């Protein structure tokens, strides 16, 4: 055997073992549970029962889509603005975007409760002015806000990465050829930042659509997302592992299909985007 290839394999082996134990094996277990009944006999009943949860699927996709759209609209100008600054300011802003990601996202979500609660920061302030209280917590808006807040760095970073690599003279060339600011955006910046957008959309949409914690803490128990549904069944005990696995499997397949379509739409611009 080629010595170098053997060396490479040796270096990669801890990760291969890790992925096998913690990714591949659980996936097999999940598929096994989704296709069997409580006695371990093969059945498609779990999958065909999925229709019962179409409302949760629908709401999850809707919320995740809205949250992704909002993140994109907020992050795009932010990323562009960052590339316009001098290097030291760019680094600083980059850090400001990154720092929240170093904190546990459960804690970050929890902090929103203290801001949005009926006796929270905003309502306390409003009552001082003789206004309110506003109903902020336990609303769909709060859930979407949580998603946007938690996942926006994953949108900013790939966009920033693509835009900062963009040759500035391309925008000058567009202007030179008669484009005003909007035309420059539409005909050059937007198409060339597509790989970054696709990475960003993926990295925000996927965790949003499968989240359960955000909806529980900020949405009360009123909005049952698909992640909540899975968690709910899972907590009921081993009897419900089969249905929980089936929902997970379907969700996973749906996400993979979405990713596939998205990457197709993005054309063949492999460079620039960071798909993690």
Partner 1 sequence: MEKENIVELKNISVAFDGEQVLDGLNLDIVDGEFITLLGPSGCGKTTTLRLIAGFLEPDTGDVLFEGKKINGVPAYKRQVNTIFQRYALFPHLNVYENIAFGLRVKKRPESEIKEKVAEMLKLVNLTGLEKRHTDTLSGGQQQRVAIARAIANHPKVLLLDEPLAALDLKLRKDMQKELKKIQQQLGITFIFVTHDQEEALTMSDRVVVMDSGRIQQVGTPQDIYNEPRNAFVADFIGESNIVDGKMLKDYYVEFSGQKFDCLDKGFAAGESVDVVVRPEDVDIVEPEKGMLKGVVTSVAFLGVHYEIIVDIGGFKWMIQTTDEHFAGDSVGLYIEPDAIHIMKKSEYSGLYGDYSSYSEEIDHLSDAEEEEP
Task: Provide the binding-site residues for partner 1, judged by CB under 8 A.
Answer: 167, 169-170, 172-180, 183, 187-188, 191-192, 269
User: In terms of Cα–Cα distance, which of 46, 193, 218 is closest to 140?
Assistant: 218
Could you tell me what percentage of the chain is helix, strand and coil, using 3-state DSSP and rounding each to the nearest 5? 80, 0, 20
Relative orientation angle of helices 54-84 and 140-165, to the nearest 10 degrees: 40
User: In terms of Cα–Cα distance, which of 163, 164, 165, 187 is closest to 175?
Assistant: 187
CA pair distance 202, 187, nearest whole angstrom: 23
By beta-carbon proximity to partner 1, the closer residue of 181 and 253 is: 181
By beta-carbon proximity to partner 1, the closer residue of 54 and 186 is: 186
By beta-carbon proximity to partner 1, the closer residue of 126 and 189 is: 189
* Residue 174 C-beta: closest distance to partner 1, Å: 7
* Residue 271 C-beta: closest distance to partner 1, Å: 9
Relative orientation angle of helices 25-34 and 241-265, to the nearest 10 degrees: 120
User: In terms of Cα–Cα distance, which of 224, 213, 215 is closest to 57?
Assistant: 224
H helices then E strands: how many in the chain? 15, 0
* Residue 74 C-beta: closest distance to partner 1, Å: 25
Bridge partners of 85?
A: none
* Residue 68 C-beta: closest distance to partner 1, Å: 23
By beta-carbon proximity to partner 1, the closer residue of 14 and 176 is: 176
* Residue 202 C-beta: closest distance to partner 1, Å: 20
Q: On the CB side of 114, how many CA atoms lie within 13 Å of its CA? A: 5
* Residue 258 C-beta: closest distance to partner 1, Å: 24
By beta-carbon proximity to partner 1, the closer residue of 193 and 211 is: 193
CA pair distance 13, 7, nearest whole angstrom: 10
* Residue 193 C-beta: closest distance to partner 1, Å: 10
By beta-carbon proximity to partner 1, the closer residue of 96 and 173 is: 173
By beta-carbon proximity to partner 1, the closer residue of 131 and 170 is: 170
């Amino acid at each position: 055997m080629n010595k170098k290839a053997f060396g490479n394999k040796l270096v990669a082996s801890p990760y291969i073992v890790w992925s096998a134990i913690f990714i591949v094996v659980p996936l097999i277990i999940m598929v096994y549970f989704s296709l069997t009944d409580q006695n371990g006999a093969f059945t498609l009943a779990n999958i065909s029962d999925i229709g019962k949860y179409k409302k949760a699927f629908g709401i999850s996709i809707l919320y995740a889509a809205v949250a992704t759209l909002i993140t994109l609209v907020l992050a795009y100008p932010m990323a562009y603005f960052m590339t316009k600054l001098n290097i030291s300011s760019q680094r600083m802003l980059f850090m400001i975007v990154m720092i929240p990601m170093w904190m546990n996202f459960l804690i970050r979500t929890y902090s929103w409760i203290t801001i949005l609660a009926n006796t929270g920061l905003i309502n306390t302030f409003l009552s001082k002015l003789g206004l309110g209280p506003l109903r902020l917590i336990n609303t769909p808006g709060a859930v979407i806000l949580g998603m946007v807040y938690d996942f926006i760095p994953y949108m900013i970073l790939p966009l920033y990465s693509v835009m900062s690599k963009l040759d500035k003279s391309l925008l000058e060339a567009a202007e030179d050829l008669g484009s005003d600011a909007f035309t420059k955006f539409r005909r050059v910046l937007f198409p060339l930042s597509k790989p970054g957008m696709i990475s960003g959309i993926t990295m925000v949409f996927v965790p949003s659509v499968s989240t359960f914690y955000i909806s529980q803490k900020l949405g009360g128990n009123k909005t049952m997302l698909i992640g909540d549904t899975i968690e709910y069944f899972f907590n009921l005990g081993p009897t419900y592992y089969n249905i929980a696995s089936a929902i997970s499997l379907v969700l996973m397949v749906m996400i993979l299909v979405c990713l596939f379509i998205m990457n197709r739409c993005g054309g063949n611009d492999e460079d620039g985007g960071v798909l993690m």
